[in-house]
Amino acid sequence: MKCALCRRHTETSLCTNCWNYAIEKLQVFPKKYEELEDELLPSRGRPSERVGGSKEPPLPVRLEVLYLRSNGISKPLMNHEAKIRIEQRHTRITFRGQELNRITVTCQYLRHKRNGFMITMAM
Ligand SMILES: [Zn+2]
């Protein structure tokens, strides 16, 4: 089997290097979410979301950032977690409150599952 990302030979869908890289990236998701707050407002001087030639004023927020700050990060992560929970026969995801908490708890779960996976693989 080949790794889904780097195409190297592996016994699993992702090789150890790509898996570790992904897990490493999971750790910074909550911090990146918080950093996006500074990117929400269009900066002056930068061409914003204004359509070229339009006399309409620019949008008050950057839409791609607004999307990421309103379920754009947590939803795909939690969908992935939900699939793992079904496979592992864990309880369903419970209410987690605001977006930052959803991202943080989901990343913790996914990282924890990785450790369980690696222990299983070592046996
Ligand atoms: Zn790989």
**pLDDT tens, residue by residue, 84-123:** 899 989 999 999 999 999 999 999 999 887 544 443 333 3
Give pTM, 2 decimals: 0.74
Torsion region of 42: left, alpha or beta (phi above 0 gives left; psi -120 to 50 gives alpha):
beta
Contacts for 25 with CB less than 8 Å, ≥ 6 apart: none
2: three-class secondary structure by DSSP: strand
Give the Å distance between the CA of 1 and the centre of ligand 1. Answer: 11
pLDDT in tens, 24-63: 899 999 999 999 999 998 875 555 555 566 677 778 889 9
**In the 3-class helix/strand/coil scheme, how is 18-29 assigned residue by residue?**
HHHHHHHHHHCH
| pLDDT number for residue 59 | 81
Give the Å distance between the CA of 99 and the centre of ligand 1. Answer: 30
Give the Å distance between the CA of 91 and the centre of ligand 1. Answer: 30
| pLDDT number for residue 114 | 56
Give the Å distance between the CA of 24 and the centre of ligand 1. Answer: 14
Average pLDDT, the chain: 84
Give the Å distance between the CA of 97 and the centre of ligand 1. Answer: 34
| pLDDT number for residue 51 | 55
Give the Å distance between the CA of 12 and the centre of ligand 1. Answer: 10
